[in-house]
Amino acid sequence: MDYISITPAQKTSMLEAIGAETIDELFSPIPESCRFTGDLDLPPALAELDLQRELQKLAAENSAAANGACFIGAGAYDHFVPVFIDQFISRGEFLTAYTPYQAEASQGSLQAFFEFQTQVARLTGMDISNASLYEGASAVGEAAMLALNATGKRRVLVASTIHPDARATLKTQLEDLPAEFVLLPAGEDGRISPAVIAEHTDSDTACVIIASPNIYGLIEDWKTAFHAFQNAAGDVGNKPLNIAVFNPTACALLKNPGDCGADVAVGEGQPLGVPLQFGGPYLGLFAAKQKFLRKMPGRLVGQTSDGEGRRAFCLILQTREQHIRGARATSNICTNQGLLALRATMYMTALGPQGLRDVAEQSWHKAHYLAKRIAALPGYDLAFDGEFFNEFLVRCPVPASAIIDAGRAKSIHPGVDLSCEKVASIGAENQLLIAVTEKRTRAELDALVDLLVECAP
Amino acid sequence: MTTTTSTIKPVKIDMTTTDTTTSAVAPRTLGERPTEDLIFEKSSPGSRAVDLPPLDVDETPIPEAIAGAAPALPEVGAIQVTRHYTHLSQRNFSIDGEFYPLGSCTMKINPRINEYAASLPGFTGSHPMQQDEDVQGCLRLLYETRELLQEIAGLPEVSLQPAAGAHGEYTALKVIRAYYKDRGEHQRNKVLAPENAHGTNAASCTSCGAGAINIKAPGGYTDIDDLKRVIDAEGPESIMALMITNPNTAGLFDSKIDEIADIIHDAGAMVYLDGANMNAILGRTRPGDFGADAMHYNTHKTFSTPHGCGGPGSGPIAVRDFLAPYLPAPQVVKTSDGRYALDYDRPKSIGKVRSFVGQFGVLVRCWTYIRACGPEGLRNIAETSVLNANYLAARLAERFEMPYFDPAKGKYAAHEFVTVPRTLLDKGVTLNDIAKRLIDYDVHPPTMHWPVRDCLMVEPTETEDLATLDRFVDVMSMIADEIESDPDTLRRAPESAPVERLDIVAADRKPITVHPMD
């Protein structure tokens, strides 16, 4: 099915109107030497019914974590998503609309993005937000680019405890630029100490990037870290930027980036109503202080009015963007994650402040319940003493992969083996990173504890 | 677009009157355009639309040192949430509802089987950190998508990681740069692009630390003499790549593409194809056949994955074999025992360009679409999209000047065409007037002022039926008539949208990007 409505008879009359004899004639500008004359070597077309069968077969080849007891996190979390969101995001008026360049014909998406920007700004305690970036890791890269541009400096300090994918993405991005990628080592407590930050800061430093919770689930002290950073930078003309990498769920319960003095706050928006879907599409959140408005990457929606004074919305400051500014744009991003931003705003609206708080609190309580039970097991202990939110690192008496294998038959997905390549092998083979969301029941938490007991030698 | 938004509206109660029982509502009058309150203005403390099961474990107190305040978000009930997003949806044009001939964007039907595919729990519930053996279905789908896209491109290797077209450009330029650096050719850091290239091309060069240099493109075609001149002036050894869109943004397939590719290759540089217009050539020619060394797809254009008010897209890149070692890690591979795996052991890779493996949910839709169409279907798509564009151009040419379209001279449009309606504009209306008037006829305006000033770029796509194409011709002639008889109608347009024409200058001058706290 190629979804074409033009009939063969219509084709003939259309060719006549064009003044061409054959379809081939329309393709005559393609030089003969470049033409592809055979058939593409692709599987034959499938009717919808057969396609459904094929797809079901493919999907069934997965044992999807979210369909069992999922304790896997490390940047993507198995949160509850109200059915409302899937239903409303599927409305064709949202699903099949383009970027809202024609404002009068796009007031629905524009207003939704304006509300999204406001919600993200309030959740993070920042002044402003854009209308989304691709995902969390490239959002970190964009934050660093803003810092380089805003300060004219070259050094980018990055906590080694940010997500390994964000670290790697940033490293790739800075590779061919006049910039220096400086990794801040973590202390024995799994966090970045103010002394380490101060030690690496010099007059050419553009920013420091610190994630909280970090990759071990630990809460970093942004406020103290940023304070140490600014002190070390001294009283310079172009102040370097404090960049906070946040988890939006944690922002509903813990001190947010704005509370702690961040200049720019970026994060992975997946926890806001986006299914795990094997890593994407997710959305990058990007919030900042007002003074960075004109240096923001990506689309921004602003409020204005029409000829009659009605409140209305349109894309603003497009002269920052690639389609106007070309090589001098603040970023090369064009297509963003519009539908995911819609998901996120619907999620925040449907749950409301209390619902978001409930999600964060239940994740906290359940994670701490589980951590206490595991810490009491012989052979197991928590790798770090520091405060954590919904994720923690456990030292196991056996390789983490053995525990993951043992969980398979019970549809328990115990967590992430920190020695595996998917997390850049940042940990030892007996380190298991366990995430707990509000979705996990007490029975599931206890079942994981039982599994760990069985796995212990 | 239906405007069933709130048929009542609050009116100010005059507190000086004694009769406070007066109803605070009034009927909506014909032609009235109500606004939709912001969700923040609908908030009433204590309302909620969703709840959670009660907590079933003991509580652990949250230390005060780390605790924060609840976010200041709106509190609304279930019916308000429902109506809010229903009303917002009704204030949008969409492919589902309207003809959307937006040049360069390929606004074709978004088949719902794609949505079904992406919503299967086996896909939506798979975690990117699951071990390969648990996600064989996801990995097989990704591997097969790689194979499909390789064949369509005529190029042997594909990376599925890039999140959108611009991200694909960035990734491929990084790959090309890494290849040259590996060969010791560090000095190759200049990228050529015709002046009518997408803005992303130059911006992507900047993101990679490469310099972008414009090549003249008079009449829409890349100027070969200027190309040679620039290469000589800059020095062939400094050129990294030419980024070219073909069919190009003027709606033309560049007949000299093989010659252009030879010139670039003679300079020791690479040809990068911006695949935005792949829809026009599916199965008729392949980038690998006309000299491209690397390219990106926009699955949200060519392969019908929904645009979603501006995203998500997906921008897989295809490359020649000598570039393959530099593609981002991980790469999805098939092992000797017929299993699928993510390969991280890629010592020459540029590294990562994003988190996890890519826009998986978008790629599921892409796979579904290509499997639905099959090879004949893809070819038919190219043929019909080109037929539809040429048909519209031919029928409109009488009143709308077509600077690049001349069938008598063999200058056919590809899947889109550009008109610069000079005669009509000279009568005192602006291009914007024409665009906004189209909204009143339930047609989304075409792309404007790009690639040249005062132009409309029209791309009907293959999925429109003949009646819709003919109606568009009628609408355009009607507007041309209105320009002669009643130009003020155009200046007032749109009359049927939820809002009148907006003051976009004020929006930029005093930017308001968030709703203030009460």
Structure token digits, residue A211? 């994630």
Cβ of B391 within 8 Å of Cβ of A14? The answer is: yes
Indicate the angle between helix axes B360-396 and B136-153, nearest 10 degrees: 30
Cβ of A42 within 8 Å of Cβ of B378? The answer is: yes
Fold of the domain built from segment(s) A84-347: Aspartate Aminotransferase; domain 2 (3.40.640)
Residue B278 has pLDDT above 60, yes or no: yes
Please give the average per-residue pLDDT across A290-302, as a whole number. 97
Residue B13 has pLDDT above 70, yes or no: no
Residue B490 lies in a domain: no
Residue B5 has pLDDT above 60, yes or no: no
Distance in angstroms (rounded) separating the CA atoms of residues B505 and B507: 5
Provide the pLDDT for residue B23. 61
Please give the average per-residue pLDDT across A24-53, as a whole number. 97
Please give the average per-residue pLDDT across A225-250, as a whole number. 95
Distance in angstroms (rounded) separating the CA atoms of residues A304 and A282: 29
Containing B192, the helix (H) or strand (E) segment is strand B190-194
The residues, ordered by sequence, that sit 6+ positions from A382 with a Cβ below 8 Å of its Cβ are A371, A374, A375, A392, A393, A394, A395
What is the pLDDT confidence band of residue A58, given thresholds at 50, 70 and 90? very high
What range defines the domain where residue B264 resides?
A: 114-371
Answer whether A335's CB lies under 8 Å from A130's CB. no
Q: What percent of chain A has pLDDT over 90?
A: 96
The answer to whether B325 faces chain A, any CB pair under 8 Å, is no
Residue B6 has pLDDT above 60, yes or no: no
Q: What is the CATH number of the domain that holds B123?
A: 3.40.640.10
CATH number 3.40.50.300 is the correct assignment for the domain at A66-80+352-455: no
The answer to whether B449 faces chain A, any CB pair under 8 Å, is no
In our burial notation (b when 16+ CB lie closer than 10 A, e otherwise), range A366-399 reads bbbbbbebbeeeeebebbbebbbbbbbbbbbbbb
What is the pLDDT confidence band of residue A14, given thresholds at 50, 70 and 90? very high
Min Cα distance A159 → chain B (Å) is: 17
What is the pLDDT confidence band of residue B17, given thresholds at 50, 70 and 90? very low
> Which amino acid would we find at residue B434?
I
Nearest CA in chain A to B46: A354
Half-sphere exposure of A313 (CA within 13 A, CB side): 29
Of B76, B91, B129, the CB nearest to A108: B91
Residue B25 has pLDDT above 90, yes or no: no
What is the pLDDT confidence band of residue B9, given thresholds at 50, 70 and 90? very low
Q: How far is CA A154 from the centre of its chain?
A: 25
Nearest CA in chain B to A53: B117
Provide the pLDDT for residue B8. 45
- Give A152: exposed, middle or buried? Use CB within 10 Å, 0-12, 13-18, 19+: exposed
Provide the pLDDT for residue B219. 87
Answer whether A42's CB lies under 8 Å from B374's CB. yes
Return mean pLDDT, chain A: 97
* Cα dihedral: A257, A263, A268, A270 (round 10): 60
Distance in angstroms (rounded) separating the CA atoms of residues B421 and B175: 42
Residue B508 lies in a domain: no
The answer to whether B348 faces chain A, any CB pair under 8 Å, is no
Nearest CA in chain A to B116: A52
Cβ of B81 within 8 Å of Cβ of A253? The answer is: no
Provide the pLDDT for residue B31. 77
Min Cα distance B485 → chain A (Å) is: 23
Residue B108's DSSP bridge partners are: none
Predicted structure pTM score: 0.96
Provide the pLDDT for residue B22. 53
Please give the average per-residue pLDDT across B248-270, as a whole number. 96
Q: What percent of chain B has pLDDT over 90?
A: 92
Nearest CA in chain B to A77: B127
Cβ of B513 within 8 Å of Cβ of A316? The answer is: yes
Nearest one of B256, B296, B251, B258 to B276, comparing CA atoms:
B296
What ipTM, to 2 d.p.? 0.98
Please give the average per-residue pLDDT across B104-128, as a whole number. 98
Beta strands in B259-403 (DSSP E): 270-274, 294-296, 317-319, 331-334, 340-343
Provide the pLDDT for residue B24. 73
Enumerate the residues of chain B whose CB falls inside 8 A of the CB of residue A309.
none
Size of interface A-B (CB pairs under 8 A): 716
What is the count of structural domains for chain B? 1
Cβ of B358 within 8 Å of Cβ of A104? The answer is: no
Residue A235 has pLDDT above 90, yes or no: no
Question: Per residue in B361-403, pLDDT tens?
Answer: 999 999 999 999 999 999 999 999 999 999 999 999 999 999 9
Answer whether A180's CB lies under 8 Å from A273's CB. no
Tell me how crowded residue B233 is: count the other CB atoms within 10 A of its CB. Answer: 9
Of B127, B148, B504, the CB nearest to A66: B127
In our burial notation (b when 16+ CB lie closer than 10 A, e otherwise), range A323-358 reads eebbbebbbbbbbbbbbbbbbbbbbbbbbbbbbbbb
Answer whether A231's CB lies under 8 Å from A249's CB. no
Please give the average per-residue pLDDT across A372-392, as a whole number. 98
Residue B3 has pLDDT above 80, yes or no: no
- Strand order of the sheet with strand B270-274? B157-159, B317-319, B294-296, B270-274, B239-245, B190-194, B211-215
Please give the average per-residue pLDDT across A165-191, as a whole number. 97
Cβ of A308 within 8 Å of Cβ of B68? The answer is: no
Distance in angstroms (rounded) separating the CA atoms of residues B452 and B248: 13
Distance in angstroms (rounded) separating the CA atoms of residues B359 and B445: 29
DSSP state of A419: T
Distance in angstroms (rounded) separating the CA atoms of residues A53 and A58: 9
Provide the pLDDT for residue B4. 42
Structure token digits, residue A163? 């997500």
Residue A312 has pLDDT above 60, yes or no: yes
The answer to whether B432 faces chain A, any CB pair under 8 Å, is no
Cβ of A276 within 8 Å of Cβ of B281? The answer is: no
Q: Which residue has the tokens 């050894």?
A: B237
Of A5, A111, A339, the CB nearest to B311: A339
The answer to whether B102 faces chain A, any CB pair under 8 Å, is yes
Residue B159 lies in a domain: yes
Min Cα distance A141 → chain B (Å) is: 9
Q: Which residue has the tokens 């360049």?
A: A101
Question: Per residue in B43-68, pLDDT tens?
Answer: 999 999 999 999 999 999 999 999 99
Residue A418 has pLDDT above 70, yes or no: yes
Cβ of A169 within 8 Å of Cβ of B48? The answer is: no
For the ranges B127-131, B159-163, B216-220, which has the lowest average pLDDT?
Answer: B216-220
DSSP state of B282: T
The residues, ordered by sequence, that sit 6+ positions from A450 with a Cβ below 8 Å of its Cβ are none
CB interface of B with A, residues 215-244, below 8 Å: none
Provide the pLDDT for residue B2. 45
Distance in angstroms (rounded) separating the CA atoms of residues A132 and A283: 6
Answer whether B414's CB lies under 8 Å from B188's CB. no
Distance in angstroms (rounded) separating the CA atoms of residues B236 and A275: 49
Distance in angstroms (rounded) separating the CA atoms of residues B370 and A192: 48
What is the pLDDT confidence band of residue B195, given thresholds at 50, 70 and 90? very high
Provide the pLDDT for residue B467. 98
Enumerate the residues of chain B whose CB falls inside 8 A of the CB of residue A276.
124-128
Distance in angstroms (rounded) separating the CA atoms of residues B115 and A361: 33
Min Cα distance B417 → chain A (Å) is: 13
CB interface of B with A, residues 360-399, below 8 Å: 360-362, 368, 370-381, 383-384, 386-388, 390-391, 394-395
The structural domains of chain A, with segments of one domain joined by +, span: 66-80+352-455, 84-347
Enumerate the residues of chain B whose CB falls inside 8 A of the CB of residue A17.
391, 394-395
Min Cα distance B263 → chain A (Å) is: 16
Question: Per residue in B218-258, pLDDT tens?
Answer: 988 999 999 999 999 999 999 999 999 999 999 999 999 99
What is the pLDDT confidence band of residue B7, given thresholds at 50, 70 and 90? very low
Nearest CA in chain A to B357: A279
Nearest CA in chain A to B86: A88
Distance in angstroms (rounded) separating the CA atoms of residues A302 and A313: 6
Q: What percent of chain B has pLDDT over 70?
A: 96
Distance in angstroms (rounded) separating the CA atoms of residues A332 and B208: 10
Residue A39 has pLDDT above 70, yes or no: yes
Min Cα distance A228 → chain B (Å) is: 18
What is the pLDDT confidence band of residue B14, given thresholds at 50, 70 and 90? very low
Residue B15 has pLDDT above 60, yes or no: no
Provide the pLDDT for residue B127. 98
Answer whether A435's CB lies under 8 Å from B149's CB. no
- In angstroms, what CA-CA distances link A193 with A170, A186, A214, A220? 21, 7, 13, 9
Cβ of A134 within 8 Å of Cβ of B164? The answer is: yes
Of A36, A172, A219, the CB nearest to B289: A36
Cβ of A278 within 8 Å of Cβ of B138? The answer is: yes
Structure token digits, residue B394? 């031919």
* Cα dihedral: B384, B385, B387, B389 (round 10): 160
Nearest CA in chain B to A278: B128
What is the pLDDT confidence band of residue B16, given thresholds at 50, 70 and 90? very low
